[in-house]
Amino acid sequence: MSISSTEDTPAEPVQPRLIPHGVLIPFVLVTALFFLWGVPNNLNDVLIRQFMKSFALSRFQAGLVQSAFYMGYFLLATPAALLMRRFGYKSGFVTGLLLFSAGAFLFWPAAIIGRYPYFLAALFVIASGLSFLETASNPFVAQIGDSQSAARRLNFAQAFNPLGSIAGALVGTVFIFSGIELSGSQVAAMQAAHTYTAYLRTETMRVVAPYMVLGVVTILWAVLIAFTRFPVVAGEGQAAGESHGRFRELLGYPTFLFAIVAQFMYVGAQVGTWSYFIQYVQDSTHQHEKIAGYLLTGTLGAFGIGRFGSSAIMRFVRPDRLMALYSLINILLVAIGVIFPGWVGLWAIFLTSFFMSVMYPTIFALGIEGLGRNTKIGGSLIVMSIVGGGVLTPLMGWISQETHRISLAYGVPLLCYCVIAIYSLMWRRMQIAETANQH
């Protein structure tokens, strides 16, 4: 009988822990933020349709909801990074939640005044808070554990974002949509009876209650985080005078620079797809707005399933390869949606949410990989690229308005997925070259 020595057996590689010991409570509190900011993101999709009714807006004008929202991300991401560079991630969480809450409460005076620009201002304040939250949360989750599991950990945390998106779309469909859609003759009759203005005001006031609840919840969460002890992660707790990195140094990271472009395109594709999804349903299949709202909720559910699924798949498949495959699938699906408007195109667009789910956290994790002391400012620039949602969404509205075909507007997300596919396929080669140049 022979006894094999354990020394002769090669040791299996140890999988790094997804969540390290001692950081579970901060990780849970921060992961909940991904849920919280998903709610207003997809309440916007309902607001676009609601404001088209209550303020009699064109599709392009309604698309300015996303412009105001994502301009807040663009303008506040760098100040958020500078604040956290000095005071740490926790300061970013608390500041972001307080701004988020303030913007939600501003919906009340905006509704009383009854002017569209005041709602845009409130959305800008909300987005300013979300800019702090995203600038802090993404790198915090990526850096809180082993770098090898960063993309998987970020995908897991981001998986709770679509749950917030589903909640936002569902709350908007149930509590904001009245289900009343007037024909031209009904509008004329109400105008003649001098009741149309009262109807529009009632429709406008329906948006207030969900945002008041959201404001209260975010204040409570800010208090919880303020009184919780957070771990020090890379780049925090540095001595006075120690370098925090420089913007100029980021020019030496091609994978990071390409990540900014890819994220701009991704957010434009995601926000544009969902912003006009209700309109696509109604134009292509002539369904009621509430049915369209429930279909929007369904596609967000597919997005959530994709997020949780991709986190599991990444244990076996490299993140860049998985994103490349999903990008190519979405190119095909969106092309079907553009060419075959109707139920076939609708279900194709519906399915894109599942495959887009992997993209935001993966682009972010791949983009900040290897940035070291430049992680905070690099992360802030990737968050700034979220402005793609505010640029490409009105572009889709303009295309739809000019061509009178919402399906053609989906050519914009089609182009975006082409760019993301190129980034995914090139990332590994660029990263190897980048590492060689640094050594």
User: Any idea what the CATH number is for the domain that residue 298 is in?
Assistant: 1.20.1250.20
Q: Please report how the helices 24-54 and 277-285 are oriented relative to each other, as an axis angle in degrees rounded to 10.
A: 50
Looking at the predicted structure, is the pLDDT value of residue 241 above 50?
A: no
Q: How many domains does the chain have?
A: 1
Compute the distance between CA of residue 259 and CA of residue 253 in angstroms, rounded to an integer: 10
Within-domain flag for 88: yes
pLDDT number for residue 244? 53
**Rounded to 5, what percent of the chain is helix, strand, coil?**
80, 0, 20
Within-domain flag for 303: yes
Looking at the predicted structure, is the pLDDT value of residue 170 above 90?
A: no
Q: Give the range with max mean pLDDT: 192-201, 211-220, 243-252.
A: 211-220
pLDDT number for residue 81? 79
Element (H, E) at 72: helix 64-87
Within-domain flag for 5: no
Within-domain flag for 221: yes
pLDDT digits (tens, 9 = 90+) for 242-298: 345 567 778 888 889 999 999 999 999 998 999 899 889 999 998 887 888 889 889
Within-domain flag for 333: yes
Looking at the predicted structure, is the pLDDT value of residue 192 above 80?
A: yes
Within-domain flag for 291: yes
- The chain-wide mean pLDDT, for the chain, equals 85
Looking at the predicted structure, is the pLDDT value of residue 364 above 70?
A: yes
Report yes or no: 149 and 298 within 8 Å, Cβ to Cβ.
no
Within-domain flag for 15: no
Per-residue confidence band for 239, with pLDDT thresholds at 50, 70 and 90: very low
Looking at the predicted structure, is the pLDDT value of residue 127 above 70?
A: yes
Within-domain flag for 7: no
- With CA atoms as reference, report the closest residue to 408 among 347, 341, 342, 351: 341
Looking at the predicted structure, is the pLDDT value of residue 130 above 70?
A: yes
pLDDT number for residue 245? 56
Looking at the predicted structure, is the pLDDT value of residue 202 above 50?
A: yes
Domain residue limits at 81:
22-231+246-438
Report yes or no: 422 and 325 within 8 Å, Cβ to Cβ.
no
